[in-house]
Structure 1
Amino acid sequence: MPVITGLQLQRTHKDRVNVYLDDEYAFSVHLDVAAGLKRGQMLDDEAIAALRSEDAYRAALGQALHWLGYRPRSSGELAARMARAGVDPDLVARVLDRLRALHLVDDAAFADWWVAQRLEHRPSGARALAHELRQRGIEPDLIAEAVAGLDEPAMAVAIALQHAPRYRIHGRPVFERRLAGVLQRRGFGSEAIRSAVDAAWAATAPPAD
């Protein structure tokens, strides 16, 4: 059975330790993973695999925390990113469990945050928001809760009024077509679009002589 004959801090990565077995370099692990190792300790294949798995877990957790430092993430987003990085599915599940335990990942809270951000920076209809949340792996029941309180008619009117002046000069057919296109791309339904276009046309009518 291989024996640890050396433990050496790396020069360029001070948080990693090179492990030597039988006087030959074998692998490196994070300093915390190496904390229980000592010279003369015997390591079988199972123990080595466990050390490498723990090291990979720490690396994946660190990467996930790095991503979360930029903005909140759904569990689906993090799982997809880790999968693209080649992280083992069992480790992905373990990382997500840890992040949930730390309250750093919460899909319900993420869905509410996502909707709030979109309403502030680029208001969209429930259909578009639901599509965006599905792409991020949010469950249907959480999506329904996140978009339940949207006042789509009022939102559609507000957006229509923002765009109406530039289209009004082209006459009603062009006005309706272009404004409807804007609202369709934002994910609003046909009824909300029709009402918003009518309201915007009336609101931008020139004053009577």
Structure 2
Amino acid sequence: MSLPHDPQQDLPEADTESFARQILLQRLTDQPRSRAELAESLAKKNVPADVAQRLLDRFEEVGLIDDAAFARMWVESRQRSKGLGRSALARELRKKGIDDELAGEALELVDTDTEVQAAHRLVQKKLRSMQGLDQTVKTRRLTGMLARKGYSPSVAFSVVREELGSELEPRESL
């Protein structure tokens, strides 16, 4: 049984390069992408490895691909929009093909205070839907949510304890 014919194999190298360049530009138009994501896109379209490598290098030279900038932007965006903690952000960056050194540099931008504030906001939001539940159940669910979002156990338990403690304090009436 023969493999299906790939029309990409019939193109001259100049056309292959043009085809690959078009793929890269389209992918970068949607949103910033890591070099690894773009390489994967080219591989899926059967672009020869040498052509892909050459184009990715050129795009990097001219600044269209910048994994360090991508990692910083990704960390800032995902922490702001999803409230993710450092370990979840590191996992996502690894999945995007960002090497550990660049990921570490980007994660240094997340200061502890900002991370703790984000955890407080997540817990406060979730607490609204937990009225009537036992404190133990609330603690377990809230710390579990924070753990899934990438927060360390110490941050998770500290934030949950603070928020549940403030929930128990009587509110002063005006």
TM-score (norm 2): 0.85
Counterparts of 2:122 and 2:109, CA distance in 1: 18
Q: Number of residues paired by the alignment?
A: 160
**Residue 72 of structure 1 aligns to which amino acid in structure 2?**
P
Q: Distance in 2 between matches of 1:75 and 1:105?
A: 6
Partner of 1:105: 65
Q: How does 1:56-95 map to 2 (within 5 A)?
A: 56-95=16-55
What is the deviation of 1:79?
0.5
Question: Which structure ranks higher in relative contact order (CA pairs < 8 Å, sequence separation ≥ 6)?
Answer: 2
Identity %: 33
1:153 aligned to which of 116, 134, 146: 116
Any runs of at least 4 consecutive aligned residues in structure 1 with deviations exceeding 6 A, and if so which? none
- CA displacement at 1:119 relative to structure 2: 1.8
What is the TM-score with the length of structure 1 in the denominator?
0.72
Higher mean displacement: 104-113 or 179-188 = 179-188
SS at match of 1:204: helix
Structure 2 segments unaligned to the other structure (5+ residues): 1-9
Q: Which moved more, 1:177-186 or 1:103-112?
A: 177-186
2:149 maps to what in 1? 186
1:41-68 Cα distance to aligned partner (Å, 9 max, x none): xxxxxxxx9x811210111011110110
Q: Look up the match of 2:128.
A: 165
Structure 1 regions of 5+ residues with no counterpart?
1-48
Larger Rg: 1
**Greater fraction helix:** 2
Asked if structure 2 preserves the Cα contact closer than 8 Å seen for 1:168 and 1:175, the reply is no
One-letter identity of the residue aligned with 1:62: Q
CA shift in 2, pair 1:68/1:204, >3 Å: same
* 1:204 and 2:167 matched: yes
Kept in 2: contact 1:167–1:178 (CA 8 A): no
Task: Measure, in 2, the Cα distance between the counterparts of 1:205 and 1:65.
Answer: 55
